């Protein structure tokens, strides 16, 4: 096969960047045919949210920030309530903390079920989406059905605990506005046990896909917890040896503007490494405290620790669904209601920080609050802004293999690299414009 | 628990102006009734939610706002499968639109034998705005169309 001679600038046709939330435009720069740069342009809205939070009641932060994302609203609510509670010196009842972990498990399950089965799997199977998979064979239709069942299991938790499955309404500073009845919580046990079996089957199935053998050299950053797979609490850790309280997040991560993107890039402060957050990072730092069936399923699937192949994210997400479902089963079996849905609090001036683990990774919130409980300053660092540099590094690494390909194939190859990361970029349109520029 | 052989009515929509029509009609039907027995009413904001509601459905009525170029307030009725529904693009890639959800449910054999989409032509889907005049004015007729469809389907599915 021969390729046309390289032109100074080659613009590849616009194709829908399917199965990624948002708009992306990618420019790859080459010099004498060698890849010298990759710039991914994406939009994110949190900066506007930070501005509109100023002057508002801190107790509104969970509900306002939940609107940043329709896929991971619980993550925003949980980071926001935890940060505001820290500023006010509020300690929630253990029963409320358990319920928050359960709610968050629901979001992990629903989000991962969707990405694994609907957004990521088609890339390994040569289909352009879940509909094509469902039409391809009875076996693949069964896989799509399993994805829907798992998504439904996660949504059921969010509906019961959160009041509704999209943008839950029940969490608040101090606990919950209302908690579900014990009988309703217990009734989730059997459907969640069935979903757990589905998740275990998903791990084995995902591990059997034709997954490319790639290794990246990122520093993985996640919460680390000595006793449990971290979701709402833990210390900030990296595979490079960082171990710090979450309050020190901004000492270790800084946000910088890059000319090609409206989204800030978050990078390690004072260190020349690309850090990455998300399921691989959590797994690499917490595999030892994963739940028993998750560890068993991961071992049977030969999932390495550490895992440095972003394409294996599909297996790690499946393992994390097992973690979340085992945890959810445990929580619905043992939860007892608190004396009151929320503990009382009074506002006071202060600063609160929190990090929780959103499905896509580490989500940092920081609020400066005045003495009547109004937000003076808000800072939100979402996982996708932290992962942009890792995605670009992976694109540079992979681009040598696809820049010379015909446009459709090059766009698809680039999209696959991006989709391994499940980036969530809330935006109105969905295009990847791939532009290959040959430098003079 | 769901009622076996139920007629499932799902209103789809969001908070942006006339896009809330599907949600508003469900609220109206809940308040006013006038539906045959064994009907389940749901309001959803995304297509995947629709996929969770099809267990034991004998028939499905989907109600949503429509942008086809017709005068605002015009009522639409389409029976699945329909080429006019096939070509619709999803509003988001992490969420399925109602048409994509129907296509997926169809491919998975989850759709009941009777699926009808009822819609009202929207004027403006302005964020944070309420329903516009044309769509608000058409809501009683849309609710009546849903009731008539439900009665027809109740008759057809029970064979009465």
- Tell which residue, A400, A393, A325, A359, has the closest CA to residue A34: A400
Cβ of A144 and B104 within 8 Å?
Answer: yes
Contact call for B93 and A145, based on CB within 8 A:
no
- A29's enclosing H/E stretch is strand A24-31
Asked if B141 reaches chain A (Cβ–Cβ under 8 Å), the answer is: no
CATH of the domain at B51: 3.40.50.1450
> Could you say which of B52, B103, B109 has the minimum Cβ distance to residue A155?
B52
- Give contacts of A71 with chain B, Cβ < 8 Å: 94
Q: Are strands A243-244 and A235-238 parallel, antiparallel or unpaired?
A: antiparallel
Q: Helix axis angle, B21-32 relative to B133-158, nearest 10°? A: 60
Give how far the C-alpha of residue A404 lies from the chain's centroid of Cα atoms, to the nearest Å.
32
Suggest the residue from B55, B93, B110, B126 to mutate for an interface test with chain A (most A CBs closer than 10 A).
B93
Which among A221, A363, A229 has a CA at the least distance from the CA of A290?
A229
Q: How far is A168 from chain B (nearest CA, A)?
A: 13
CA dihedral angle for residue A239, residue A242, residue A243, residue A248, rounded to 10 degrees: -130
Kindly state whether residue B150 falls inside one of the protein's structural domains.
Answer: yes
Q: Which domains does chain A have, with CATH numbers?
A: 9-43+399-438 (no CATH), 53-217+272-381 (1.10.645.10)
Is B95 an interface residue toward A (CB < 8 Å)?
yes
- Give A114's contacts in chain B (Cβ within 8 Å): 48, 94
Task: Identify the pLDDT of residue A424.
Answer: 66
Pairwise CB contact (< 8 Å): B94 & A70: yes
Residues of chain B contacting residue A430, judged by C-beta atoms under 8 Å apart:
92-93
Identify which of B88, B84, B105 has the alpha carbon closest to the alpha carbon of residue B97. Answer: B88
Greatest pairwise CA separation for chain B in angstroms: 45
Output the pLDDT for position A262: 64
Count how many domains chain B has.
Answer: 1
* Cross-strand pairs, A381: A364
- Residue A20's closest chain B neighbor by CA? B93
pLDDT of A250 = 95
Q: Which residues contact B44 (CB under 8 A, 6 or more apart)?
A: B10, B11, B12, B50, B53
Share of chain A residues as helix, strand and coil, in percent rounded to the nearest 5: 45, 20, 35
Is B142 within a domain?
Answer: yes
Instruction: Assess if residue B69 is contained within a domain.
Output: yes
Under an 8 A CB cutoff, do B103 and A148 touch? no
Radius of gyration of chain B (CA): 15
Position B139 in a domain: yes
Any chain B CB within 8 A of the CB of A48? no
C-alpha A413/C-alpha A403 separation (Å) is 9
Q: Whole-angstrom Cα distance, residue A388 to residue B100?
A: 30
- What is the model's pLDDT at position A43? 53
Q: What pLDDT sits at residue A37?
A: 81
Q: Using a CB-CB distance cutoff of 8 angstroms, which residues of chain B are in contact with residue A18?
A: 93
- Residues A90 and A174 sit within 8 Å (Cβ to Cβ): yes
Tokens of residue B57, six digits: 């459905």
C-alpha to C-alpha distance for A333 and A300, rounded to whole angstroms: 27
B91 to chain A: nearest residue by CA? A428
Bridge partners of A41?
A25
% chain B with pLDDT above 90: 57
Instruction: Please check whether residue A37 is in contact with residue A29, taking contact to mean a CB–CB distance below 8 angstroms.
Output: yes
| pLDDT tens for each residue of chain A, 440 residues long | 444 444 444 443 223 344 444 556 778 887 877 788 888 776 544 457 888 899 999 999 999 988 877 778 899 999 999 999 999 999 999 999 999 999 999 999 999 999 999 889 999 999 888 889 999 999 999 999 999 999 999 999 999 999 987 788 999 999 999 999 999 999 999 999 999 999 999 999 999 999 999 999 999 999 999 999 999 999 999 999 999 999 999 999 998 877 766 667 888 998 889 999 999 999 999 999 999 999 999 999 999 999 999 999 999 999 999 999 999 999 999 999 999 999 999 999 999 999 999 999 999 999 999 999 999 999 998 888 888 889 989 988 998 888 888 888 888 888 889 889 987 653 222 335 566 677 65
Query: Percent of chain B at pLDDT above 70?
Result: 90
Taking CB atoms and an 8 Å cut-off, how many pairs form between chains A and B? 50
Q: Do B48 and A114 touch (CB under 8 A)?
A: yes
SS3 A106: helix
Specify if B88 maps to a domain: yes
B1 falls within a domain: no
pLDDT of residue A155: 93
* pLDDT value for A20: 47
Look up the domain containing B83 and give its range.
6-16+19-158
CA distance A131 to chain B (A): 5
Q: Say if the Cβ atoms of B49 and A71 lie within 8 Å.
A: no
Tokens representing A424? 């969530």
| Residue A406: partners with Cβ closer than 8 Å, 6 or more residues away | none
What pLDDT, on the 0 to 100 scale, is given for residue A29? 80
Contact A424 B104 (CB under 8 A): no
Instruction: Decide if B47 is inside a domain.
Output: yes
Q: Are A22 and A42 in contact (CB under 8 A)?
A: yes
**Quick check: is B109 in a domain?**
yes
């Amino acid at each position: 096969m021969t390729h046309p001679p390289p032109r100074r600038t080659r613009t590849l046709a616009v194709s829908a960047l399917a199965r990624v939330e948002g708009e992306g435009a990618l420019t790859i720069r080459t010099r004498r045919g060698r890849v010298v740069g990759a710039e991914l342009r994406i939009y994110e809205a949190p900066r506007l949210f930070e501005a509109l939070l100023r002057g508002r009641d801190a107790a509104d932060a969970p509900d306002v920030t939940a609107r940043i994302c329709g896929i991971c609203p619980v993550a925003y609510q949980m980071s926001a309530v935890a940060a505001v509670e820290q500023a006010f010196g509020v300690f929630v009842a253990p029963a409320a903390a358990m319920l928050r972990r359960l709610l968050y498990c629901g979001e992990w399950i629903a989000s991962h079920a969707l990405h694994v089965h609907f957004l990521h799997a088609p890339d390994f199977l040569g289909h352009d989406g879940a509909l094509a998979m469902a039409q391809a064979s009875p076996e693949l239709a069964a896989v799509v059905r399993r994805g829907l069942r798992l998504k439904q299991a996660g949504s059921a938790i969010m509906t019961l605990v959160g009041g509704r499955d999209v943008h839950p309404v029940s969490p608040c500073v101090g606990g919950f506005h209302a908690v579900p009845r014990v009988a309703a919580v217990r009734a989730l046990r059997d459907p969640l046990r069935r979903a757990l079996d589905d998740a275990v089957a998903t791990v084995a199935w995902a591990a059997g896909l034709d997954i490319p053998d790639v290794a990246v050299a990122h520093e993985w950053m996640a919460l680390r917890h000595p006793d449990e797979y971290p979701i709402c609490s833990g210390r900030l850790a990296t595979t490079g040896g960082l171990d710090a309280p979450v309050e020190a997040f901004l000492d270790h991560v800084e946000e910088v503007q890059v000319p090609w993107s409206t989204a800030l890039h978050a990078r390690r402060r004072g260190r020349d490494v690309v850090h990455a957050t998300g399921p691989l990072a959590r797994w690499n730092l917490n595999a030892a405290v994963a739940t028993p069936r998750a560890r068993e399923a991961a071992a049977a699937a030969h999932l390495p620790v550490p895992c440095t192949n972003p394409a294996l994210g599909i297996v790690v997400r499946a393992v994390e669904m097992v973690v979340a479902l085992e945890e959810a089963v445990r929580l619905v079996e043992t939860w007892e209601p608190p004396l009151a849905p929320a503990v009382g609090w009074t506002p006071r001036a202060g600063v609160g920080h929190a990090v929780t683990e959103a499905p896509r990774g580490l989500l940092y919130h920081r609020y400066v609050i005045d003495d009547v409980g109004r937000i003076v300053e808000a800072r939100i660092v979402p996982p996708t802004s932290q992962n942009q540099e890792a995605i670009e590094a992976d694109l540079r690494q992979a681009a040598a293999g696809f820049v010379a390909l015909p446009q459709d194939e090059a766009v698809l190859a680039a999209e696959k690299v991006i989709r391994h990361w499940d980036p969530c970029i809330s935006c109105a349109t969905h295009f990847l414009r791939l532009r290959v520029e040959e430098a003079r | 628990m769901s009622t076996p052989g139920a007629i499932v009515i799902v209103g789809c929509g969001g908070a942006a102006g006339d896009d809330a029509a599907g949600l508003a009609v469900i609220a109206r039907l809940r308040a006013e009734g006038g539906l045959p027995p064994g009907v389940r009413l749901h309001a959803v904001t995304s297509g995947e939610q629709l996929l969770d509601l099809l267990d034991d459905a004998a028939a499905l009525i989907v109600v949503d706002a429509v942008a086809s170029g017709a005068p605002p307030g015009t009522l639409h009725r389409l029976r699945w499968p329909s080429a006019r529904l096939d070509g619709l693009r999803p509003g988001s890639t992490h969420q399925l639109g109602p048409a994509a959800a129907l296509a997926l449910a169809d491919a998975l054999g989850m759709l009941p034998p009777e699926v009808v989409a009822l819609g009202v032509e929207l004027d403006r889907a302005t964020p944070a705005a309420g329903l516009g005049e044309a769509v608000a004015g058409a809501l009683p007729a849309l609710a009546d169309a849903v009731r008539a469809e439900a009665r027809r389907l109740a008759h057809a599915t029970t064979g009465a």
